[in-house]
Each structure stands twice: as C-alpha cells, then as structure tokens.
Structure 1
C-alpha cells in the first residue's frame, strides 16, 4: 500500500492502493499481491496517456492532424502483476515486490518506482 507506480506512457506517478481484504499487513500497511491490479481500485491514473494504442489518444491525435495529443489516463490492466514473489504468499497469491511489472492494454509497462515499505524484503 502506498507504493509509487510509474507507467511508461503516463505523465505522472500514481499510488498503489491495497484494500485490506487479506488481513495481512507489512509495516502497518495492507500487503499487496499480484492480484492487486484492478484499474482505479488498485492502480490510479498516471495523469495523461501518450500511447497511440489508446483509442482516445489516437482519436485526439488524428483530430490534431497527427500531432501527438495526450489524453487523460484510465489504466486498463486486465492481467496480474508478474512475476510475484516465489516464496511469500498472501491469501494464496504471490506477494508483490519491487521488481514486479503490470502491463496496460494500451502498451504501457507499469513498474514500482518507490516501494510502500522500507524495511521488509519479500522473497
């Protein structure tokens, strides 16, 4: 919870939100798993999106005679984070760690820029 995320096509960082459904916490915050990839619920928007694979960016760019026109980001993360922790599981799912990535349907690669914990190492 509280980790700062960065998308390769986004303009600003976003925070990871972890709902306290697993009842497991690390350093006083709800612990994340690879399944914490839901748009808006877990992954907040990254400001504006610059991916031409995003239909809104593509349409706005076409309307601007081919000049790239970023549009508001709405994350489209249908698949879980990968690879997840090999040894640490929370509620039956691999725990999220600082090397995990999540793919946006519009081609963006979402990475953990700053972890939400400072003292705990996940294996």
Structure 2
C-alpha cells in the first residue's frame, strides 16, 4: 500500500537542482489534512512548480546555453513540461472520477526528467 499524496507534498525531478511543492486546488473537496491529489494534478506552474535549474541536455534552453558555452553543460532555469498524467494512480480509490495520486506515482517531463514524490505531505491515509 502507498500513501495518499496531498497539497504541499514535496516533489523532485531527476534533472532538477531543488525540490518543489505540489499545489492541489480543493476542487473535489476531498481532504486528508489538506486537499487530496489526483493523477490529473500535473499542470506545470499550477500544480507542478519549477525545480530550480534544469541540467537535461534535451531541454532547449539548456542545449542553447551549453552550445554557447562551447559544449560545457550549462544548467538553465527549470520550466516543467508535463503532457501526460501521473502514473500509476491508485487503481481503486477515485477522487472526482480520477484515480487518487499515490507516493509511488511518477510524472514524466517532456525534456526527459522523471518527477517523483519524495514526501507525500501526510503519513496516515493509505491507498492501494
């Protein structure tokens, strides 16, 4: 069993330099101390905040800065680009018709990073 993820959870990107909080709007009125998250809480700059600087060469800004520095990897500000929902969600717990977000879920960034939950913001509500 995994833990239910709520607003205020701490996220980390594999190419980011710093963790970032997860923001969840209380649209579905399901609370576990804070608003509970679903797999659709994946919108950049609304739910998923920047992770400091990005060091992935697939990111166009990093690629341009690296080329300008004659091939020396040059991290640039992170702007997450997430096109798909979190996966996997909880197969049995639904919130507003969407699977609940669990701490084992991952989110893929278009630039190549894998975003994971490093602290779910609550430790008492479990989801299968």
Q: Which interval holds the TM-score relative to the shorter structure?
A: over 0.9
* Aligned-pair CA distance for 1:118: 1.2
The partner residue of 2:64 within 38, 46, 59 is 59
- Root mean square deviation of aligned Cα: 0.5
Q: Segments of 4+ in structure 1 off by > 4 A?
A: none
Q: TM-score, normalised by structure 1?
A: 0.98
1:8-53 Cα distance to aligned partner (Å, 9 max, x none): 00000000000111111112x0000000000010000000000010
1:97-112 equivalences in 2 (<5 Å): 97-112=102-117
Q: TM-score, normalised by structure 2?
A: 0.94
* Aligned-pair CA distance for 1:74: 0.3
SS in 2 for 1:65: coil
Q: Which runs of 5+ in 2 are unaligned?
A: 1-6
Q: Find the counterpart in structure 1 of residue 90 from structure 2.
A: 85
Matched pairs, number: 122
Q: Which runs of 5+ in 1 are unaligned?
A: none
Question: Which protein has greater RCO, CA pairs closer than 8 Å, 6+ apart?
Answer: 2
Q: Distance in 2 between matches of 1:78 and 1:39?
A: 9
